[in-house]
Chains A and B, each alone.
Chain A
Amino acid sequence: MYANALASWRGHPFVRRFSRTLGEVMAYVILAVGAIVMVLPFVWMISTSLKEAGEVFSYPPKLIPSHLAFHNYVDAWRAAPFGRYFFNSLFVATSVTLGQLISCSLAAYAFARMNFPGKALLFTAFLSTLMIPRQITLIPSFLVLRELHWLDTYYALIVPFIASAFGTFMLRQTFMSIPRELEDAAKLDGCSRLGFLWRVMLPLSRPTLASLALFTFMGNWNSYLWPLIMTNSQKMRTLQIGLRFLVCQEGGTNWGMLMAATVVVSIPILIFYLFVQKQFVESLTFTGIGG
């Protein structure tokens, strides 16, 4: 009988609407608290970067500085050549992205449309590189780059990354979905293979190319271990490595300046992300990589 009463009470339209609203409010509250926790370190970074030395070391901490100390940014800019670091990061990430798109498109076209001896073997060989993490190839790669006299040059940061089995497979999938009739028609019109790839295949694969470019760019921009080991002069450092050396050199005293430097290092990629956000999230779920 109680159960009956409860059921009819639950089923009442008013109660149903009320419990739904309650659920929504709860969801908002939990999500908001979580979001604050996620964003707090960023707020803390920006707030510290705008504080005078005295206020940085005040307790309890104040989230909003009493006056804005923009000179931390000037100090950071003077303490290390961030312009050069920024150029290095941008140049390396762009070159790697372009190089990878080219090499992957070519390889993917061969796998998708051409017939040649050793195709299965080469395909397996490509596949196997997915099982080899970079960390494990570190020492021999260092030795190879040393033999080539490429250590501490842009080559060391770019060349090892301009091939990707993952990109090749993604593009191959896309290429295989493009109808063969198109190719036959193009051949009749006297279009070469390279011309067909450039004029037909690539424009039709734009979404895949965009996702690939995004991931390659971001991954490379954020990479740490490789540039740490393969470069040693200040002028070859990327933003990430430059920041780390600044932290070491400071010894953890001038936190206002260090946080200003961290803002400088992390803001470009955040702005970039806000622009490509939708595309990024879509391609992340589409490709299932990142992290």
Chain B
Amino acid sequence: MLAGVKRTVWLLRKRYRWDEVLSAYLFLSPSVVVFSLFMYFPILYTLYLSLHRWRLGKMSRTFVGLHNYQVLITSSEFWEVLRNSFYYALGSIPLNMAIALAIALLLNRKLRGMAVFRTAYFLPTITSTAAMAVVWLWIYHPDFGLANWLLDIIGLPRLRWLSDPRWAMPALIIMGIWKGLGYNIVIYLAGLQNIPQHLYEAARIDGADSWACFRYITWPLLTPTSFFILIIAVINSLKAFAQMHIMTEGGPLNSTTVIVYYLYEQGFKFFNLGCASAVACVLFAILLALTVIQFKVLSPRVHYLGG
């Protein structure tokens, strides 16, 4: 026994230098402490809390097993919340990516004044969601807002945008596209700049027109970029909160209660910590599954230049 310990110590001594080990641990300690308190402990504690019934302010918490999850799954409210979240994601992402790609293709032609355009497209991405939500709240004003004025000009009937359960989510989607476009454009531009010019030259010599160049060179070589944008966009849109909190407060008729808003409501309005933790765990599972699926299923189809 003692010999074994001695041997281990001897091996460690041989492999490591104690002053190096000590300073390494010292250097890592700030990050480790912060991660432990605000990442590792919380994620475990969320799991633990999700198995309990506990209201903030009450001392006693009761173990209820999977009861919170059962309540969530059987409540139509929670399914509606999930549906809203995916409505928001699917409503904004494809359109956002298509517009971003089109604009990036135009910006990539390197004409004069492109820097000005790029700045214009990027402005919404830079400013905070909170401030922009207030501006769009005013844009969607039913009587004096810009949105209804535009509808009047085109000759379409006015909408009650944020107070109409059918139109509140599309209104948020439009704002979301406007807000997120700049980021996707910049990423697409970077992707476009990585495509070697000689491929286009070769294709031109073979008589390919612009569409063929796009279809057989640009599009396939941009797959990794599109894939990357898709991952980030899905994850980000499932985390949306500020615009719902400021513009609609989840209404009207819960039509814009997305998953993070629901979590916030359960946890910090109704102080239903067990239920809110279960919601957090479901969100975590969804995000984790999405990442895994995207990496496992989609990545073999992604083209990488030069293998």
Which of A's residues lie within 8 Å of B, judged by CB?
24, 27-28, 30-32, 34-35, 37-42, 44-45, 48, 56-61, 102-104, 106-107, 109-110, 114-117, 119, 122, 125-126, 129, 131-133, 135-144, 159-160, 162-165, 168, 193, 218, 221-222, 224-225, 228-229, 239-241, 243-244, 247, 252, 255, 258-259, 261-262, 265-266, 269-270, 273-274, 277, 281, 284-285, 288, 290-291
Q: A243 vs B102: C-alpha distance in the bound complex, in angstroms?
A: 35
B-chain residues with CB within 8 Å of residue A58 when the two chains form the complex: 144
CB distance from B57 to the nearest CB of A (A): 11
Q: A140 vs B63: C-alpha distance in the bound complex, in angstroms?
A: 17
Across the interface, do A41 and B136 meet the contact criterion of CB distance under 8 Å? Answer: yes
CB distance from A4 to the nearest CB of B (A): 14
Chain B: interface secondary structure? helix
- Of the candidates A107, A243, A274, which one forms a contact with B130 in the assembled complex, judged by CB atoms under 8 Å apart? A243
Q: A28 vs B283: C-alpha distance in the bound complex, in angstroms?
A: 43
Across the interface, do A45 and B130 meet the contact criterion of CB distance under 8 Å? Answer: no
B31-39, B74-82, B164-172 - interface stretch? B31-39
B-chain residues with CB within 8 Å of residue A262 when the two chains form the complex: 131, 134-135
Across the interface, do A107 and B41 meet the contact criterion of CB distance under 8 Å? Answer: no
Q: How many residues of B contact A (CB 8 A)?
A: 96
Across the interface, do A44 and B134 meet the contact criterion of CB distance under 8 Å? Answer: no
| Given A103-B30, A140-B46, A247-B137: A41 touches B132 (CB 8 Å cut-off) | yes
- Not counting A129-B39, A225-B241, a sample of 8 additional A-B residue pairs whose C-beta atoms are within 8 angstroms of each other reads A41-B178, A117-B12, A140-B43, A163-B31, A163-B35, A164-B31, A224-B242, A284-B183
Across the interface, do A291 and B183 meet the contact criterion of CB distance under 8 Å? Answer: yes
A-chain residues with CB within 8 Å of residue B235 when the two chains form the complex: 133
Across the interface, do B12 and A133 meet the contact criterion of CB distance under 8 Å? Answer: no
B-chain residues with CB within 8 Å of residue A135 when the two chains form the complex: 239, 241, 260, 263, 280, 283
Across the interface, do B135 and A291 meet the contact criterion of CB distance under 8 Å? Answer: no
User: Chain B, 275-307, contact with A by CB distance < 8 Å: what is the 0/1 string?
Assistant: 011001101100110010000000000000000
